[in-house]
Amino acid sequence: MTIKKEKRYALLLAADDSDYVKKVYGGYFNVFVKAFENEGDKWDLFRVIEGEFPEADELENYEGFVVSGSPHDAYGDENWILQLCFLLQTLFAMQKKVLGICFGHQVLCRALGGKVAKSSSGWDIGVRKVSLTEDFHSYGFSDEFDEIPPTLSIIECHQDKVYEVPMGAKVVAQSDKTEVEMFTFGDHILGIQGHPEYSKDILDNLIDRLLSNNSIEIGFAQEAKLQLLKAEPDRKYLENICRQFLKGGWSPSPTYL
């Protein structure tokens, strides 16, 4: 009888749980695990925003790491952000799977030598269509239900963006507002600017919180909420992309190397 080895993954949480997410989902950890886990996985939580990081001698025990979104700037110099950059550089050297989401996408880019800054076009909030490049399809992604379409709709909520990917990395998705919606580095790094893990109600509540702390204006908030009512994110495809990346079913064709 063959016993399958348990696969361990770590969520590096760079945000505090909102009251809404705690009440409805039990915290962001549950949101991510529900979106990305495969049967038999074990997930651990590290609240990096509070200075909680995995021990160096434990890194080898993990199959992959996910870096969450955050209200903080990925180009900031807070101690925990600098420590996170060092950890990401270490994981890159170890060729560990790392998936960065929103802030995670940006800080991963920064750690590996790319350029991140405030977007000149301001906030991007809502459901946006992103176009996948030929390089994306070179990774051999296969959806178990349908052929993946050339464009996908994803929930966005950011005012910073990647301007330049690290040397050796490839842009694999773009939109009319953000030039780097997704990037890869070999077969072990994937950054996604949008939120494949978010449901529409999470974004709706986040819009309310951004409005209440004067981060956005009421007209912008109303427009974002109206657009959110009309559009649907392609969560099935996006979650499958993340799962396949994390479990190892993701490798570029030699033609594209």
Question: Mean pLDDT in runs of 10 for the chain (257 residues)?
Answer: 73 97 97 92 97 97 97 96 98 97 98 96 94 84 68 96 96 95 95 97 96 94 92 93 85 54
Tell me the backbone φ, ψ of residue 139, rounded to 5 degrees. -80, 0
Buried b (16+ CB within 10 A) or exposed e, 60-82: eebbbbbbbbbebbbeeeeebbe
pTM for this model (two decimals): 0.94
- Identify whether 157 is a catalytic site residue: no
- Identify whether 85 is a catalytic site residue: no
d(CA 191, CA 184): 6
Task: State the pLDDT at residue 3.
Answer: 52
From 102, 109, 157, 242, the catalytic residue: 102
Task: State the pLDDT at residue 256.
Answer: 45
Place of tokens 């979104």: 69
